[in-house]
Chain A
């Protein structure tokens, strides 16, 4: 079924943040650092302040004078509102000019004179880890307790996870394989540009933004400005992780405070590339197998380039430790990671990152093993995939896996087992590949109530569902309305959804990591059941009937024989709206059969597979993806069409980083792929046909059996494509993107 807001969207009526106007609003432009690493010696903004139309200029001097907290960050408090002592990447925020219109602000920003002392920059992880490397940050400021920086280095988080004895495993193996993997940074390219409006009135802040985490942002605003704050997130035109954390809101609020009026900032596409990027990933993977292909040991080491600020990057590295060894039953595993500061823009999650890169690593290696041992790639996976009752690397007891079913369904989507139809010329080669993955969802280390949803029945007889979930295109309003309607037993036309306004909805952590359907869904169902009870209790009183005899009907509370008490009338007679707050409790520990207590690493685990058929032009090295199959175990598909679209979207989007997207900096730290003209994105012309399949097995604990799947499509893409290229050409690539010149080079080295 189409989303509730569908008609609004096709008529252009939907308002995104960039479409909002606030009375008396001024416009901001950010002055950015031209250098990747430098000390800021002096800033002279006098001329800019005097320029026509300029309201004010925010620099470190104004920030200090305002007495606000000058540094922010979610897991690391390491990002200054505007540069204090140093700039840490090309594009770092140095000053903000506020003017009557955007053009005046832009013109004035050029009048600011900044004196820099250039410092040596570390543009990649290798340079940042070298002995005596310049330090991006001289000291560390982690807030999240699980982060472990290494003093005196650029490593802002070092972590590992293990089970069994990996060295013993390698000793008992028939063969051991080791490979190195690389994926460069890319940007999310959500078309809805980062934007926000900040206003301070009567000692309270209001921010309109397209940030995916309104409540953490609210807390950060309150901490920095020591004022009440309200965050409103209207519809968001895609984020894919680039908006998972705030970056501009606190800065713009400081500008609004200085200006004494509302201030609006909308970035350009080039500036979004200087705001959040998907980090570079490097890793090695070593796997030991028995002669029959059974995996006995796996050791994964990887680094993540978090960029100049670890606002959120360090934590995503940590989370993916849990999935680095894949959806396989492996007795001996060890995963180690370093999250490293460099002079690149800050990193952010990207539709499942870095599960995507891990999957690329273990799945391409598996195909190499398959060929070496003479086992069919699907068969080799079948021998190793986890099943219900297996224990994961984290200690979690896996349930509702269905990983094998996903693989079979995905492979069938490209007619696995039958050879490709021959291409039109002999210089082209075709091949097929598959991939499997496992993914976690963000889960707190201790048992807690994480998400709230409220439902109230108002005087208009409408059930208003209030949720923190940001509607970013995934159709969350619709899913939650369906849950509420089903939970209450009323029709969708009785439901209205209010989303992501911190003043109106209960606290929610964020709309990330495929978590909303499960968590918010459960909270909505909980609220629905509480409100049902309350409504029936009130009706029972008004009708003088036993509550047990009553039920919610389409238009009011119904008694078996008697009249219906209309909802609006019920509310009027009861003296005011009825309301209930629902919650979803997650996290905590469980007890393993041997009595050990394990913290639950993930509330649910997602499983999925992809299959790709490609054509490689051996004259040019060009790879075209012809068709893709995919299957995901989503628990119960609440809205199957949405699930399919979401899967196709993930597959299609990730083809960009697989085939041609990458960010490139020159030696001086200047971004060369700054504009779309030099940064190709997938289009309809480069897109294959898809066969997405839903593997449905209701998940116990999920709302109507659903679990999340927002990001799974992208995670499985690169591995399937690389394996298909291997099948077609015999060349295995351990890196993306598959730039044609690299493909050609490898083909000729055969």
Chain B
């Protein structure tokens, strides 16, 4: 690995100051699971590494006022294991449990998993499906960006030089107001070989049903099927106000597959990836509906 200057700020203000000062030459590291590997490979050769791992303002997670606030440093492993998250934000826990291997999950942070901007990762689709936003801070400003708008291309995000992601906020899914109504989420991925290899595709689905089993809200987000996560708006809209049956589920899945924008690569040709998108959406949608209290035969 190339030598670099190593800075370890201990407050958020200090962190944004050093970032402002070093600009493009600085690389932020949080868990380091992606950044350190890329430096070892020589893909990244920063002059300065800013380790934000000990900035207290970036740590901690709490649910209050109908919002889950995940400090940027919250590890994927703690999202996976936190019973409070599992109960209300089950989709996040489910996606977290499918990230890489336990060694990576122990270190990887939620901030890193979105700022990395890799199209194949699991957390972005789940977070987008849950309507999450990122808080970005610099020495001079603070702004909030919906995660649906955060990704700009492979390894490219809305982060400006000098900016840090400080927190991700996730609105609590609205609980069903009528008896029998419910919310269900499901994340699935399809990988060839071992799970820590890049997946062919992943899909996050979130549905909310009313007491009559009608779908009041549905979100479908696909990963690894384009340069950025694909929000399958049209496909989800087919569910509006409907009581999903097998035929509708197949239609939704097919429409979601059409929304995908995959590339031909080692993980398969375009037609195959679209097919997998369809299969994953169909399976994840059925699973989400089941969790919401509606089993479709």
Determine whether A and B are in direct contact in the complex, meaning some CB atoms lie less than 8 angstroms apart: yes
Q: How far is the CA of A171 from the CA of B86 in the complex (A)?
A: 70
Q: Given A103-B1, A741-B268, verify A620-B194 contact (CB < 8 Å).
A: no
Asked if residues B266 and A683 are in contact (CB atoms below 8 Å), the reply is: no
Of A656, A659, A678, A744, the contact of B272 (CB 8 Å cutoff):
A744
Which residues in chain B, 175-194, are within 8 Å of chain A measured between CB atoms?
190-194
Q: Nearest chain B CB to A671's CB is how many angstroms away?
A: 11
Cβ–Cβ < 8 Å partners of B195 in chain A: 683, 685
- What 0/1 pattern do residues 717 to 749 of A give for CB contact below 8 A with B? 000000000000000000000011100110000
Q: Nearest chain B CB to A621's CB is how many angstroms away?
A: 8
Q: Given A107-B2, A619-B279, A741-B269, verify A682-B197 contact (CB < 8 Å).
A: no
Closest to B197 in A: A680
Asked if residues A677 and B198 are in contact (CB atoms below 8 Å), the reply is: yes
Which residues in chain B, 139-198, are within 8 Å of chain A measured between CB atoms?
190-195, 197-198
Cβ–Cβ < 8 Å partners of B3 in chain A: 103
Tell me if A159 counts as interface (CB < 8 A to partner B): no
Cβ–Cβ < 8 Å partners of A739 in chain B: 192, 268
Q: Nearest chain B CB to A665's CB is how many angstroms away?
A: 11
Asked if residues A681 and B2 are in contact (CB atoms below 8 Å), the reply is: no
Q: How far is the CA of A508 from the CA of B108 in the complex (A)?
A: 49
Closest to B276 in A: A620
Q: Nearest chain A CB to B52's CB is how many angstroms away?
A: 25
Tell me if A446 counts as interface (CB < 8 A to partner B): no
Asked if residues B193 and A686 are in contact (CB atoms below 8 Å), the reply is: yes
Q: Given A620-B276, A677-B198, verify A740-B268 contact (CB < 8 Å).
A: yes
Which secondary structure characterizes the binding site on chain B? loop
Of B1, B42, B279, the contact of A620 (CB 8 Å cutoff):
B279
Of B2, B266, B269, B276, the contact of A678 (CB 8 Å cutoff):
B266
Q: How far is the CA of A21 from the CA of B177 in the complex (A)?
A: 69
Q: How far is the CA of A677 from the CA of B193 in the complex (A)?
A: 11
Cβ–Cβ < 8 Å partners of B192 in chain A: 622, 660, 680, 739-740
Q: Nearest chain A CB to B117's CB is how many angstroms away?
A: 16
Tell me if B8 counts as interface (CB < 8 A to partner A): no
Tell me if A664 counts as interface (CB < 8 A to partner B): yes
Tell me if B275 counts as interface (CB < 8 A to partner A): yes
Asked if residues B266 and A672 are in contact (CB atoms below 8 Å), the reply is: yes
Taking residues whose C-beta sits less than 8 angstroms from the other chain, chain A's interface range is 20 to 34
Of B190, B193, B276, the contact of A660 (CB 8 Å cutoff):
B193
Q: How far is the CA of A313 from the CA of B42 in the complex (A)?
A: 33
Cβ–Cβ < 8 Å partners of A619 in chain B: 279
Q: Given A103-B1, A672-B266, verify A741-B198 contact (CB < 8 Å).
A: no
Asked if residues A678 and B198 are in contact (CB atoms below 8 Å), the reply is: yes
Cβ–Cβ < 8 Å partners of A661 in chain B: 193
Asked if residues A744 and B193 are in contact (CB atoms below 8 Å), the reply is: no
Cβ–Cβ < 8 Å partners of B2 in chain A: 103, 107
Cβ–Cβ < 8 Å partners of B194 in chain A: 680-683, 685-686
Closest to B282 in A: A619
Cβ–Cβ < 8 Å partners of A106 in chain B: 42
Which residues in chain B, 81-110, are within 8 Å of chain A measured between CB atoms?
none
Cβ–Cβ < 8 Å partners of A744 in chain B: 272, 275
Residue count of chain B within 8 Å CB distance of chain A:
21
Q: Nearest chain A CB to B203's CB is how many angstroms away?
A: 13
Q: How far is the CA of A35 from the CA of B247 in the complex (A)?
A: 53
- What 0/1 pattern do residues 342 to 386 of A give for CB contact below 8 A with B? 000000000000000000000000000000000000000000000
Q: Nearest chain B CB to A23's CB is how many angstroms away?
A: 26
Closest to A675 in B: B41
Asked if residues A677 and B268 are in contact (CB atoms below 8 Å), the reply is: no
Q: How far is the CA of A622 from the CA of B41 in the complex (A)?
A: 32
Which residues in chain B, 6-47, are within 8 Å of chain A measured between CB atoms?
41-42
Closest to B37 in A: A677
Q: Nearest chain B CB to A598's CB is how many angstroms away?
A: 45
Q: How far is the CA of A664 from the CA of B266 in the complex (A)?
A: 8
Closest to B269 in A: A741
Tell me if A673 counts as interface (CB < 8 A to partner B): yes
Cβ–Cβ < 8 Å partners of B42 in chain A: 106
Q: How far is the CA of A686 from the CA of B266 in the complex (A)?
A: 19
Cβ–Cβ < 8 Å partners of B198 in chain A: 677-678
Closest to B283 in A: A619
Q: Given A107-B2, A619-B279, A620-B276, verify A681-B193 contact (CB < 8 Å).
A: yes
Which residues in chain B, 191-225, are within 8 Å of chain A measured between CB atoms?
191-195, 197-198, 200
Q: Nearest chain A CB to B273's CB is how many angstroms away?
A: 9
Asked if residues B193 and A659 are in contact (CB atoms below 8 Å), the reply is: yes
Which residues in chain A, 134-179, are within 8 Å of chain B measured between CB atoms?
none
Closest to A620 in B: B279
- What 0/1 pattern do residues 231 to 270 of B give for CB contact below 8 A with A? 0000000000000000000000000000000000010110
Closest to A741 in B: B272
Listed residue (A661, A672, A740) with the most chain B CB atoms within 10 angstroms of its CB: A740
Cβ–Cβ < 8 Å partners of B276 in chain A: 620
Cβ–Cβ < 8 Å partners of A672 in chain B: 266
Which residues in chain A, 658-693, are within 8 Å of chain B measured between CB atoms?
659-661, 664, 672-673, 675, 677-683, 685-686
Q: Nearest chain A CB to B120's CB is how many angstroms away?
A: 10
Q: How far is the CA of A119 from the CA of B205 in the complex (A)?
A: 51
Q: How far is the CA of A107 from the CA of B1 in the complex (A)?
A: 9
Cβ–Cβ < 8 Å partners of A677 in chain B: 197-198
Cβ–Cβ < 8 Å partners of A679 in chain B: 197
Q: Nearest chain B CB to A656's CB is how many angstroms away?
A: 8
Q: How far is the CA of A103 from the CA of B1 in the complex (A)?
A: 6
Cβ–Cβ < 8 Å partners of A620 in chain B: 190, 275-276, 279
Cβ–Cβ < 8 Å partners of A683 in chain B: 193-195
Q: Nearest chain B CB to A266's CB is how many angstroms away?
A: 14
Closest to A678 in B: B266
Q: How far is the CA of A719 from the CA of B2 in the complex (A)?
A: 47
Asked if residues A678 and B193 are in contact (CB atoms below 8 Å), the reply is: no
Q: How far is the CA of A686 from the CA of B3 in the complex (A)?
A: 39
Asked if residues B197 and A678 are in contact (CB atoms below 8 Å), the reply is: yes
Closest to B2 in A: A107
Cβ–Cβ < 8 Å partners of B200 in chain A: 740
Q: How far is the CA of A437 from the CA of B139 in the complex (A)?
A: 69
Cβ–Cβ < 8 Å partners of B266 in chain A: 664, 672-673, 678
Q: How far is the CA of A619 from the CA of B275 in the complex (A)?
A: 8
Q: Nearest chain A CB to B250's CB is how many angstroms away?
A: 12
Q: Nearest chain A CB to B202's CB is how many angstroms away?
A: 13
Listed residue (B42, B190, B198, B266) with the most chain A CB atoms within 10 angstroms of its CB: B266
Closest to B101 in A: A683
Which residues in chain A, 603-648, are within 8 Å of chain B measured between CB atoms?
619-622
Closest to A110 in B: B42
Q: How far is the CA of A23 from the CA of B147 in the complex (A)?
A: 55
Cβ–Cβ < 8 Å partners of B268 in chain A: 739-741
Q: How far is the CA of A724 from the CA of B44 in the complex (A)?
A: 46
Q: Nearest chain A CB to B281's CB is how many angstroms away?
A: 12
Q: How far is the CA of A686 from the CA of B269 in the complex (A)?
A: 23
Which residues in chain A, 53-75, are within 8 Å of chain B measured between CB atoms?
none
Closest to B198 in A: A677
Q: How far is the CA of A740 from the CA of B267 in the complex (A)?
A: 9
Which residues in chain A, 229-257, are within 8 Å of chain B measured between CB atoms?
none
Q: How far is the CA of A103 from the CA of B3 in the complex (A)?
A: 9
Closest to B273 in A: A741
Cβ–Cβ < 8 Å partners of B191 in chain A: 680
Q: How far is the CA of A739 from the CA of B190 in the complex (A)?
A: 13
Q: Can you give 9 A-B contacts (C-beta < 8 A)?
A: A103-B3, A620-B190, A672-B266, A673-B266, A685-B194, A685-B195, A741-B269, A741-B272, A745-B272
Other A-B pairs beyond A682-B194, A740-B200, A745-B272, 12, CB < 8 Å: A103-B1, A106-B42, A619-B279, A620-B190, A621-B272, A622-B192, A679-B197, A680-B191, A680-B193, A683-B193, A740-B272, A741-B272
Those 6 A-B pairs whose CB atoms lie nearest each other, nearest first: A680-B193, A741-B272, A683-B194, A660-B193, A680-B197, A741-B268
Interface residues in chain A, defined as those with a beta carbon under 8 Å from any beta carbon in chain B:
103, 106-107, 619-622, 656, 659-661, 664, 672-673, 675, 677-683, 685-686, 739-741, 744-745
Interface residues in chain B, defined as those with a beta carbon under 8 Å from any beta carbon in chain A:
1-3, 41-42, 190-195, 197-198, 200, 266, 268-269, 272, 275-276, 279
